[in-house]
Amino acid sequence: MSVTIRTGRTIAALPRRPLFKALTRGWRGKCPACGEGRLFSAYLKVNDTCPACGEELFHHRADDAPPYITILLVGHLLVGLMLHLEMVWSIPPMVYLLTLVPLAVVLPLLLLPPIKGAIVGLQWANYMHGFDPDNKDD
């Protein structure tokens, strides 16, 4: 089975990479290729290569996508929760300050690595950027 992608200069037939598996492996902080090696060497620093299989991971270009998606998710979750709580009960502002503000800080910090891992997995599975062997720009 092969997949055809457009690289800008050529169309190459490459073996299909499992998208869902790559997304879940990235979400768990594992290499999208083998699922064994650690994806991150630090909080959000992606390893240059997989320590288990040697897959080159430095090709990723996650850029602003992980923070954008994180803010989108956390914002909708917290605003929805706050609106729901206001419609059901009358909650003093200090309760919001003591509960939702810490959540607004902690949730993005917890979600950012898995979302970045999933973005790297997405790029790997779709041969995006330098993951495409025909792309000589990277």
Residues lying near Zn ion in the complex (CB under 5 A): 31, 33-34, 37, 50, 52-53, 55
Q: For the CB of residue 90, give the shortest distance to Zn ion in the complex, in Å.
A: 53
Choose between 111 and 125: whose C-beta lies nearer to Zn ion. Answer: 125
Q: For the CB of residue 35, give the shortest distance to Zn ion in the complex, in Å.
A: 7
Choose between 52 and 78: whose C-beta lies nearer to Zn ion. Answer: 52
Choose between 37 and 113: whose C-beta lies nearer to Zn ion. Answer: 37
Phi-psi region of 6 (alpha: psi -120 to 50; beta: other; left: phi over 0): beta
Choose between 30 and 111: whose C-beta lies nearer to Zn ion. Answer: 30
Choose between 42 and 87: whose C-beta lies nearer to Zn ion. Answer: 42
Written as six digits, the tokens of 38 are 């650690």
CA distance 115 to 27: 6
* b/e per residue 17-45 (b: at least 16 CB within 10 A): beeeebbbbbbeebbbbebebebbeeeee
Q: For the CB of residue 30, give the shortest distance to Zn ion in the complex, in Å.
A: 8
Q: For the CB of residue 48, give the shortest distance to Zn ion in the complex, in Å.
A: 12
DSSP assigned state of 123: H
* Pairing state between β 11-15 and 2-6: antiparallel
Q: For the CB of residue 36, give the shortest distance to Zn ion in the complex, in Å.
A: 6
Contact 39, 26 (CB under 8 A): yes
